[in-house]
Structure 1
Amino acid sequence: MRRLGIHSFVWTGGQTQEGLEMALEKSAAHGYRCIEFAYLRPELFDLDRLARKSRALDVQIGVTMGLPRDKDISSGDPDAIRAGRAMLSDAVRAVRDIGGDKLGGILYSAHAKYDRQPTETGWKTAAEVIAEIGAEATDAGIMLTLELVNRFESNLLNTTAQGLKFLDDCGNPDVTLHLDTFHMQIEEADPAQAIRMAGDRLGYFHIGESNRGYLGCGTIRWEPIFDALLDIGYDRDVVFESFSTAVVDEGLSLACAIWRDTWTENDPLAAHARQFIELKHAEARRRRAANGRA
């Protein structure tokens, strides 16, 4: 684990400059060394100011997003594909301008519950667009990482096996996978084995409980997760993600089906998450040492 981070939605809905600056300050105060922002429209925020605050606080910024339906690059609609490609290209530039180091999320389809199966043409087109955007990201010094999400948030990439095939079809070695424990516990038969399958193509990792709340209060078996991360030598960022309608706006609450809140106060949640992740990581290292493994 390179840095431990937290999603800005723990702190703010992300609608204002002041909210994002507060999120940076809160993350630093709790000892997090990176933060995840949602897609930033450059015309609404002072990206230079956010970049300066990020550097001053020593909190690295990453950005994730999902495409809207009218910009779905897997849709087969030429207008939507062009609009989606333009949105992704704009996002790469925004991440660069804010001093970010990664762009992830549901970049390959709409962030939505589909009412149809994906098509071979849609898959192929999405892979081609992601390969092109991946090259732009590399030129900008940014890692492009594709989040695998559950069946209710995309119809294209739900499992590590699908993600690896998609990367092969992209043909761009700089594009990586973004795994999330919340989604994995829905879609993967064995989340720990899925992590091992991803191996060095795992570029980003989300820690989230099965009920989106306090870590350890759901159904996820954490010990195998942390053992697997050590087994593959994962040395990139690990970010805690949790949502509550007490913080995020109605649009995101609807998209992520936040029908009930598992927390309302974010400071104790953030403090607990950091302690939990660091404890589980340390325990996994001790197990590894006890078994005679470096």
Structure 2
Amino acid sequence: MPTNPLGVHALVFAGGTTADEMTTIIEQTKAAGYDILELSLHDAVNLDTADARAKLEGAGLDIVCSRGLAFSADVSSEDPEVVARGAQLLHDSLRITHDMGGTHFTGALYSALGKYGRALSAAGRANVVAALADLAVEAQGLGMTLGLEICNRYETNVVNTAADALRLADDIGHDNVLIHLDTYHMNIEEDDFIRPVRLVGDRLGYVHIGENHRGFLGSGHLDFASFFHALAGIGYSGPITFESFSSAVVSPTLSNDLAIWRNLWNNGPALARHARSFMADQLEAGRRG
């Protein structure tokens, strides 16, 4: 049996975070055998955190929250008002994560989630470092860690590779800022699935497993065997979360941000069960290899 806690993204089951949707999401996550639910906070306005926490605790599930920012609330901007709105959004999201019982807040915390028309400026990067350093101090006081998810060039201009993320984490300068690898993004930006894992090493704090098209695991062309062997090679024992998106389940904001136009699956519960089995098998093979 895998020792890494295994998670699933809520958008496999429902697009929003109303009380009824959270009931469905939590019940299906538990039924599929997962340890962790990952919840995007793009729909946080509809989220009843106390109710969600009670349901999570009742199901015996841990929670990880994630998000990217918006172009109107972007800490990588050169506009002080836009940066301030982004910093407030990060603060609010950290508190929501904590209030639900979570200890890890991750994602594209450093920029809007979308295609930029130019490269990141030095001033914009300095704003990212300052905002995330402040957030890291706040998180540390709450006993929490932050994740820098490495996203592809079409979703951010701040962090596209493991080397980028490590440089940013070094400049932020706090030990509770960890690196978040995602196989979907790595397939676009990295040379292979082994060297980035080794480069990050013991600073790896979270992993997303997703196919090259974000559909059923094993139905695309990604070399998951080498990735899981690399994880075993560095002794990674942290969370591994399945992330998949289809136009069959729509989030009013996140689906558009991620360009989820294709219907890659219709049955989220079946997809989730398959993914858990796939990841458990890959973990076992990686350890035996």
What does residue 123 of structure 1 align with? 125
Q: What's the offset of the Cα at 1:253?
A: 2.4
Work out the number of aligned pairs and report it.
287
Separation in structure 2 between the aligned mates of residue 142 and residue 40 of structure 1, nearest angstrom: 20
What does residue 219 of structure 2 align with? 217
What does residue 149 of structure 1 align with? 151
Q: What residue identity is the alignment partner of 1:162?
A: D
Separation in structure 2 between the aligned mates of residue 164 and residue 42 of structure 1, nearest angstrom: 29
Q: What's the offset of the Cα at 1:41?
A: 6.2
TM-score (norm 1): 0.95
State whether residues 16 and 43 of structure 2, in contact with CA within 8 Å, keep that contact through their aligned partners in structure 1.
no
Q: What's the offset of the Cα at 1:254?
A: 2.2
State whether residues 92 and 140 of structure 1, in contact with CA within 8 Å, keep that contact through their aligned partners in structure 2.
no
Q: Where does the alignment leave 5 or more consecutive residues of structure 2 unmatched?
A: none
Separation in structure 2 between the aligned mates of residue 200 and residue 134 of structure 1, nearest angstrom: 18
What does residue 243 of structure 2 align with? 241
> Is 2:79 the counterpart of 1:77?
yes
Which structure has more relative contact order (CA 8 Å, sep 6+)? It is 2
> Is 2:53 the counterpart of 1:51?
yes
Separation in structure 2 between the aligned mates of residue 33 and residue 42 of structure 1, nearest angstrom: 22
Q: Deviations over 1:159-207 (max 9, x none)?
A: 0000000011111111011110000000001222101111111111000
State whether residues 160 and 194 of structure 1, in contact with CA within 8 Å, keep that contact through their aligned partners in structure 2.
yes
Q: Deviations over 1:224-266 (max 9, x none)?
A: 1001101111111000000011112353222112221111111
Change (3 A) 1:68 1:217: same
TM-score (norm 2): 0.96
Q: What residue identity is the alignment partner of 2:71?
A: R
Q: What residue identity is the alignment partner of 1:198?
A: V
Identity in percent: 39
Separation in structure 2 between the aligned mates of residue 116 and residue 249 of structure 1, nearest angstrom: 27
Q: What's the offset of the Cα at 1:40?
A: 6.3
Q: What's the offset of the Cα at 1:127?
A: 1.0
Q: What's the offset of the Cα at 1:2?
A: 2.8
> Is 2:104 the counterpart of 1:88?
no
State whether residues 60 and 101 of structure 1, in contact with CA within 8 Å, keep that contact through their aligned partners in structure 2.
no
Change (3 A) 1:267 1:41: closer
Write out aligned runs for 1:4-15 (5 A): 4-15=6-17
Separation in structure 2 between the aligned mates of residue 42 and residue 257 of structure 1, nearest angstrom: 20
Stretch of structure 1 that moved more, 123-132 or 155-164: 123-132
Separation in structure 1 between the aligned mates of residue 46 and residue 115 of structure 2, nearest angstrom: 28
Q: What residue identity is the alignment partner of 1:123?
A: R
Write out aligned runs for 1:198-277 (5 A): 198-277=200-279
What does residue 113 of structure 1 align with? 115
Separation in structure 1 between the aligned mates of residue 16 and residue 145 of structure 2, nearest angstrom: 22
Alignment partner for residue 105 of structure 2, among 103, 106, 114?
103
Q: Where does the alignment leave 5 or more consecutive residues of structure 1 unmatched?
A: 288-294
Change (3 A) 1:41 1:209: closer
Change (3 A) 1:184 1:42: closer
Separation in structure 1 between the aligned mates of residue 108 and residue 56 of structure 2, nearest angstrom: 24
Q: What's the offset of the Cα at 1:43?
A: 5.3
Q: What residue identity is the alignment partner of 1:255?
A: D
Separation in structure 2 between the aligned mates of residue 93 and residue 42 of structure 1, nearest angstrom: 11
State whether residues 96 and 141 of structure 1, in contact with CA within 8 Å, keep that contact through their aligned partners in structure 2.
no
For the aligned residues, what is the CA RMSD? 1.3
What does residue 16 of structure 1 align with? 18
Change (3 A) 1:259 1:41: closer
Separation in structure 2 between the aligned mates of residue 15 and residue 174 of structure 1, nearest angstrom: 28
